[in-house]
Amino acid sequence: MLRQVVKWFGIVAGALIALLVIGLVALPFVFPLDKIKDFAVAKLSETLRREVRIEKASFNIFSGFKLQGIYVGNRAGYAQQPFISADAIELKYAFWPLFSRQIIIKEISLVKPQILIEKDYRGEFNFSDMMTSQPAAKASAPANHQGKLKGQPTTKPPFDLFVSAFSIKNAKLTYNDRAAGTVNEIRDFNLKVGGFELALVRPIALSASANATYGGQTIPLSLSGQISVNLVNEIVKVSGVNLTIAGESLTAAATVGRWSKAPQLSATVSSKKFNVDPLLAIFAGGAKAPSAKPKPGELTKTINGLTASIPRNISATIDLDVASLTFQKFKVDKLAAGLSLANKVAAVKLKEIKIYDGLLSGTLKADLNVSGLAYEVRDLRLAGFNAHHFSNAVVETFLTSLPDSKDLVDKVDGTLDVSTSLTGRGVEPEPIMSNLNLNGSLTLKNGELKKLKTLAEVGKVIKSSSLQEDLKFGALYTAFNFANRVVTAKALKIDESDFKLYFNGGADLKSLRWVPGNKMTLKLAPHLTKDLPREYSIFKDPKGWFEIAFELTGSLKMPIPRPILDKPLEVVTEKVKAKIEAKKVEVETAVKTEVATKAAEAKIELENKAKDAIKDLLKF
């Protein structure tokens, strides 16, 4: 029995080997390689509308077909470099269907391609013409006996062709944005799209990975998902999308409909942890001169280029649910928001935002038609914010251009409530500060101001050590506005049992100087000023409270408090007036006494003279 099994096994194995040998010899005659190459060139040229060249076609019974030395020309009016060049296109096939004159391609692979993507000043790409429908052949054109246009190569294949998957291996992508003046590169790009043969009944699978180089560092990228296409109803559904950038990942799902007329997008995006900075770095950085941070203006040019490429007829609704979101120095614990887009105006409705231990709510609009983005925020409310971390993030993101901006870090503690509305334009710190216009109010509870130079300088003037230390208080309130790079505080107030501070005025963040006309008033309880020199008693009221007002002058870094002496002078004047009145009364009293004495003396003298006269008259 064993001998018969071995015998039959040998017969089957020998037959298979014989068939392989026969196939190896016969296939080049069944499927001539020149026809395969000519068919590929004609089909690719027709589809891509570009000059296509293939140097060589080869066949290996074990590995399949290979088209080597691929060249696809660029669009007229763009760079002289090829749109696509590649070492080879490999076609891995199913073996047995070959004998039925069927080629079932398990995978088409584009090996080591270099792909050039260009965008001109009008916002058009070098592949934009490939996405429009081809014009039909003119009926008057002469035809040959097969019904084909004369001079047009036949595109009918000498076999039946089925494709299951497509892949790109070790590609280099170069993106040249002429409008933004940036050139970016992505290397080691790998892509695989599979499931074409069952696309009508199940989604097409997609996966991609790459390495983007920015600032001398490599940022790994990966993308995977599934695509369902309904050509009749013009609907594309993308599901199970997972985007990973430098270890940060987003998941998403989207539906696109009516793409030929007015594309409509609806999508959901979620993440448990995501950092926006690597993504912005990829778009903003230039491959020619990368740096640790985007140069001024680069991000604006990139954003303008991206918004210019968005058609006005696109509409979209997106639901965001992201946790642990990071943008530069800002960290958001949770972001739940609804986004919409219509006529290139984006709107955001903040549903639940947890940031710096507090909650954020409000509505935002951004006009993508304006260079650098124009935006508007209404009824923005921040409740229960950790003032220490939030103020540090503001300084380290928007105020880094200020000299010694590090001196503003770690200066505030407490719980912050803010209500504001604003308008502005720009996506980089400098334009944001120049165009920002906002109004609002804030309250800082259980606060602490740590060794502020302004109060320290005032403390030096009045020789108060308490003002040169950290200042703790129960609540600080102020209304504020910001315009033309000037921040103004209105009715700023700290009202404690033993310390009171009032301030009205502004600071110019462009010149870094205090705006003239500001006024800061301090009131200190008697026990805080008991050790002051006696000459400062003119600043005390009848209850012993010390009160002094200053105008802050000079630079924000080294403020010079100039005392406002109106009230002390009034006190001194009143005291002088009192002394003058007392002296006046004293003088008047002295004069009256002297007059009365003189009168009495004169009376006595007259009486004596009269007596003498009478005596002389009467001869006493």
Which one, of 73, 75, 41, lies nearest residue 56 by Cα? 41
CB of 285 closer than 8 Å to CB of 215: yes
Which one, of 245, 251, 238, lies nearest residue 220 by Cα? 245
H or E stretch covering 582: helix 566-618
Task: Pick the range with the lowest mean pLDDT from 181-195, 232-246, 281-295, 514-528.
Answer: 281-295
Please tell me the distance from the alpha carbon of residue 54 to that of residue 372, in angstroms, as a whole number.
45
Supply the pLDDT for residue 144: 43
| Alpha helix stretches (DSSP H) within 325-386 | none
| Distant-in-sequence, close-in-space partners of 388: CB < 8 Å, separation ≥ 6 | 410, 412, 413, 414
- pLDDT of 619 over the 50 cut: no
Supply the pLDDT for residue 561: 82
Q: What is the DSSP string of 526-549?
A: GGGSTTS-GGGGGGB-TT--EEEE
Q: If you search the block for the tokens 């507090």, which residue do you land on?
A: 358
Supply the pLDDT for residue 587: 58
533 burial via Cβ count (<10 Å: 0-12, 13-18, 19+): exposed
The residue-averaged pLDDT of 513-536 equals: 83
Q: Which two tokens stand for residue 320?
A: 């965001």
Supply the pLDDT for residue 198: 56
Q: Residue 145 — pLDDT band, cuts 50, 70, 90?
A: very low
Q: How far is CA 309 from CA 104, 304, 522, in A?
A: 39, 9, 57
| Alpha helix stretches (DSSP H) within 196-321 | 277-284, 298-308
The residue-averaged pLDDT of 512-540 equals: 82
- pLDDT of 430 over the 50 cut: yes
Task: Pick the range with the lowest mean pLDDT from 115-124, 369-378, 438-447.
Answer: 115-124
> Percent of the chain at pLDDT above 90?
15
Q: What is the pLDDT of residues 450-487, one digit of tens each?
A: 766 666 666 676 666 666 667 788 888 999 999 999 99
Please tell me the distance from the alpha carbon of residue 548 to that of residue 499, in angstroms, as a whole number.
12
5 burial via Cβ count (<10 Å: 0-12, 13-18, 19+): exposed
Q: How far is CA 257 from CA 310, 314, 376, in A?
A: 16, 10, 30
Question: Which of 88-102, 120-134, 268-282 ranks highest by mean pLDDT?
Answer: 268-282
Higher pLDDT among residues 257 and 46, named by residue: 257
Supply the pLDDT for residue 136: 44
Please tell me the distance from the alpha carbon of residue 369 to that of residue 172, in angstroms, as a whole number.
32
Question: Which of 13-27, 141-155, 190-204, 303-317 ranks highest by mean pLDDT?
Answer: 303-317
Indicate if the alpha-carbon torsion angle 148, 232, 163, 170 is positive or negative.
positive
Please tell me the distance from the alpha carbon of residue 268 to that of residue 336, in angstroms, as a whole number.
11
Please tell me the distance from the alpha carbon of residue 358 to that of residue 54, in angstroms, as a whole number.
62
Supply the pLDDT for residue 140: 38
Please tell me the distance from the alpha carbon of residue 579 to that of residue 540, in angstroms, as a whole number.
19
CB of 227 closer than 8 Å to CB of 203: yes
Q: Which two tokens stand for residue 505?
A: 């005025």
Q: How far is CA 193 from CA 44, 126, 164, 202, in A?
A: 19, 23, 9, 13
Please tell me the distance from the alpha carbon of residue 368 to that of residue 373, in angstroms, as a whole number.
5
Phi first, then psi: what are they for 76, rounded to 5°?
A: -60, 140
Supply the pLDDT for residue 152: 47
H or E stretch covering 15: helix 2-30
Which one, of 429, 428, 424, 450, lies nearest residue 439 by Cα? 424
Q: If you search the block for the tokens 């081809």, which residue do you land on?
A: 134
Supply the pLDDT for residue 194: 79
Query: What is the separation of C-alpha 364 from the centre of its chain, rounded to a whole number of angstroms?
Result: 14
Supply the pLDDT for residue 487: 94
Query: What is the separation of C-alpha 375 from the centre of its chain, rounded to a whole number of angstroms?
Result: 13
Which one, of 222, 150, 160, lies nearest residue 186 by Cα? 222
Q: What is the pLDDT of residues 347-384, one digit of tens each?
A: 999 888 888 788 888 999 999 998 888 999 988 898 88
Supply the pLDDT for residue 493: 92
Higher pLDDT among residues 166 and 367, named by residue: 367
Q: What is the pLDDT of residues 300-323, one digit of tens each?
A: 877 887 788 788 888 999 999 988
Please tell me the distance from the alpha carbon of residue 123 to that of residue 311, in angstroms, as a whole number.
10
Supply the pLDDT for residue 463: 65
Q: Residue 176 — pLDDT band, cuts 50, 70, 90?
A: confident
Q: What is the pLDDT of residues 381-421, one digit of tens each?
A: 988 888 777 777 777 666 666 666 666 677 788 888 999 99
CB of 267 closer than 8 Å to CB of 253: yes
According to DSSP, the β-strands at 235-245 and 559-564 are unpaired
Q: How far is CA 69 from CA 58, 127, 583, 608, in A?
A: 12, 21, 114, 151
